[in-house]
């Protein structure tokens, strides 16, 4: 078989369409991050996943990996005022009329310390080993 004419441009590893294979092939240092979705002001629903990935991954890369691992983490976003804006996760969409939005928080994974609310886009937040990334759908004034 002559493979010289095979078009390899569709290789998913070149286009970040297969983040799981990319992580499995990564030989450098890795970290573990916990990612949770909280739905409701009182955390009526909580989904959590623990992921192992290369160091210095951004929150958005954690989110991308999670949605590959489990479809309930599927999210939609757009660029607004030059920032990544997540407007839907798990088929739950921001609702400006009721004042409910997806908000980004980060804290230590195994800590009772309060989470820190961030106003950065998830693509600007570099995660560290042992951190807990939370996207919380709750009432907020934006």
The DSSP H or E segment spanning 59 is helix 59-69
Residue 27 confidence (pLDDT) above 80 = no
The Cα 118–Cα 84 span in angstroms is 13
Write out pLDDT tens, residues 51-99.
999 999 999 999 999 999 999 999 999 999 999 999 999 999 999 999 9
Angle CA 98–101–107, to nearest 5: 140
Of 56 and 28, the one with more pLDDT: 56
């Amino acid at each position: 078989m002559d493979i010289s004419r095979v078009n390899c441009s569709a290789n998913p590893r070149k286009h970040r369409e297969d983040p799981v294979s990319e992580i499995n092939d990564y030989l450098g240092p890795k970290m573990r991050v916990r990612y949770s979705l909280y739905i409701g002001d009182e955390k009526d629903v909580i989904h959590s996943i623990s992921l192992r990935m290369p160091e210095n991954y951004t929150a958005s890369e954690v989110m991308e990996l999670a949605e590959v691992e489990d479809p309930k983490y599927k999210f939609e976003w757009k660029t607004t005022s030059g920032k990544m804006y997540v407007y839907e996760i798990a088929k739950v969409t921001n609702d400006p009329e009721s004042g409910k939005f997806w908000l980004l928080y980060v804290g230590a994974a195994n800590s009772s310390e309060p989470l820190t609310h961030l106003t950065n886009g998830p693509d600007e937040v570099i995660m560290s080993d042992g951190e807990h990334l939370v996207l919380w759908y709750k009432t907020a004034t934006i």
